[in-house]
Amino acid sequence: MSNNTSSPKDTPRRRMFSGSKRATSDKTKSSQPGRIAQLKQAFDMTRRNDRQLVPLMLAAFLGSVLIMLIIGLLVENWITFLILGLFIGVMAALLILSLRAQNAALTQLEGQPGAARAAMSLLRRGWIMPEEPVAVNPKTRDLIFRAVGRPGVVLVTEGPTARLKPLVNAEKTRMRRVLPDVPVQVINAGTEEGQVKLQDLVKTMRKLPAQITKEEVYAVDKRLSAMPKNQLPIPKGIDPSRARASRRGPR
């Protein structure tokens, strides 16, 4: 009897708790920004740092519409081509926003520790790179990040080029002990003369000529990962895994 009387009371209570869980999950989903909100955030952030954003987006949109309208008039089907031009114009404007938003995000990271690694994270497939720097000078906060790809091993530095030479030479010596024949290239990231800006870092790395095969890329990375790690401590406040450029731009 006691079991039968308790079950009706438990049922509404169970429903009440299940309903609260469902409401919590729905609230969490609704709190996440949608695509339109992400576009607005990217547009507002980029416009504050890039005065050319709006003129370029308008030029891309109006230019696409005008070209498609002219084609439509020539083939005597301007309505269809006008609609197509509107669609292409919106896509062109969003592409401009995506590219300029990426550059604006990198500009905000300029000068921060780990900014080079954040820019390197924009590289597509074909590159292997650890999250943390492979060499650190804790006194000067100079950093060296490593990437392995078809060009071989690429060391990307943060700090004054002249001051980084001993740290770079030491890292090259460590790598040549296990990889004597693999090409090693150095890119000095920064704003000083002769250095590569963050906005141009990915483009510079992509332009490097291929010197090893895809299979050799994984073999090289495996050997480098097996090397004894540099025991120098990472300075406090440096977390390259958090200093990432925004990728929430429109696609």
Do 141 and 159 fall within a single domain?
A: yes
Is residue 147 over pLDDT 90? yes
Is 128 within a domain? yes
Do 198 and 126 fall within a single domain?
A: yes
Do 77 and 159 fall within a single domain?
A: no
Count how many domains the chain has: 2
Mean pLDDT lowest among 6-20, 189-203, 227-241:
6-20
Residue range(s) defining the domain that contains residue 90: 35-109
Percent of the chain with pLDDT over 90: 35
Do 149 and 60 fall within a single domain?
A: no
Is 15 within a domain? no
Do 90 and 164 fall within a single domain?
A: no
Verdict on whether the full-model pTM lies above 0.85:
no
Do 142 and 156 fall within a single domain?
A: yes
Mean pLDDT of the chain: 79
Is 6 within a domain? no
Residue with tokens 């299940």: 18
Is 42 within a domain? yes
Is 76 within a domain? yes
Sheet holding 184-189, edge to edge: 135-137, 142-149, 152-158, 184-189
